[in-house]
Amino acid sequence: MRTVTKDNITDVFMGYFGADADPRLKEIMLSLATHLHAFARETKLTHAEWRKGIEFLEWAGTISDKERHEFVLLSDVLGLSSLIDMLHTVPGGTSSSVLGPFHITGAPPLAFGGDLKGDFEGQVLLARGRVTDMDDNPIDGAELDIWQTAPNGLYSSQDPDQDTYSFHGIQTTGPDGRYGFTTVRPVSYTVPTDGPVGEILNAAHRHPWRPSHLHYIVKAEGFRPLVTEIFPDDDPYLDEDTVFGVRADLVMRYVEHPAETFPDGYALSGRIDAPYLCADFDLKLVRE
Ligand code: BEZ
Ligand code: FE
């Protein structure tokens, strides 16, 4: 094509697909090019700005590895990850929320009543609830993959002073669908700001904070996997999460209990000498 112009380049691009190209790939690529071209036209993007964008992507690529997922972080702070979550939410099931860049596979099993806190400083939190279907029937054998930061606001993969699987565990529900474990009260923390995404946040005068939360991935046979987080209602960043992860149904309230009422069947039973918090939260899965 010798007559490419700024006005017809999007159509020309569309014509370059082979007849056997995968239809969904074609649909996505055409839409992407249409929006990218429109973006460049609308903003009259300069060469210098385009170059800056390319350098940004190159830096994100260089800094990323199996523990640092800068492109995931970019998608998160742009609101893309949350938008995709919300586009696929099924009413009636627990909302999904961002996976984030810090989930690691292979966490050790955590028995019902098990403890993630160990010797870390901070208030004990008892997190418990039921995994159910949309009609409130308990789900037997649901697998709950749990992770959070240590009290210093760092995930184990960010912190050489933590064991690989500190504050990570996998719990499997029994016939009553119940889960329950103790941990430390999660803290608000900042997303990593020492890379290209941090530079964007800085340039936009945006803060990098996330409200405190516990992460869960819930899987059960016959149900859609749920990637989610739960947030306490008293967190100062609840309405300004830098990655847009908060949903109304994921907000819960901590209830403070005096020390002596700690329930039986938990690793900490009888050993607790200070008031602890309890987060009761049921997780509703959607059938496949
Ligand atoms: C997280 O909650 O782990 C997280 C999510 C998005 C970006 C950074 C961290
Ligand atoms: Fe997190």
100 CB less than 6 Å from ligand 1? yes
Any atom of ligand 1 within 6 Å of the Cβ of 73: yes
pLDDT tens for the chain, residues 1 to 288 = 678 999 999 999 999 999 999 999 999 999 999 999 999 999 999 999 999 999 999 999 999 988 788 999 999 999 999 999 999 988 999 999 999 888 989 999 999 999 999 999 999 999 999 999 999 999 999 999 999 999 999 999 889 999 999 999 999 999 999 999 999 999 999 999 999 999 999 999 999 999 999 999 999 999 999 999 999 999 999 999 999 999 999 999 999 999 888 888 898 887 788 999 999 999 999 999
Index of the ligand 1 atom closest to the CA of residue 77: 7
Q: Indicate which residue's Cα is closest to atom 3 of ligand 1.
A: 100
How far apart CA 242 and CA 172 sit, in angstroms, is 31
Distance 208 CA to ligand 1 centre (A): 10
Cβ–ligand 1 contact at 60 (below 6 Å): no
Residue 80, CA distances (Å) to 77, 84, 87, 100 in order: 8, 6, 10, 12
Ligand 1 pocket check for 101: Cβ under 6 Å: yes
Asked if 190 contacts 210 with a C-beta cutoff of 8 angstroms, the reply is: yes
Q: What's the farthest any 2 CA atoms get from each other in the chain?
A: 81
pTM value surpassing 0.85: yes
* Helix H or strand E segment including 58: helix 47-63
Residues 246, 239: Cα–Cα separation, whole Å: 8
Ligand 1 atom with least separation from CA of 215: 2
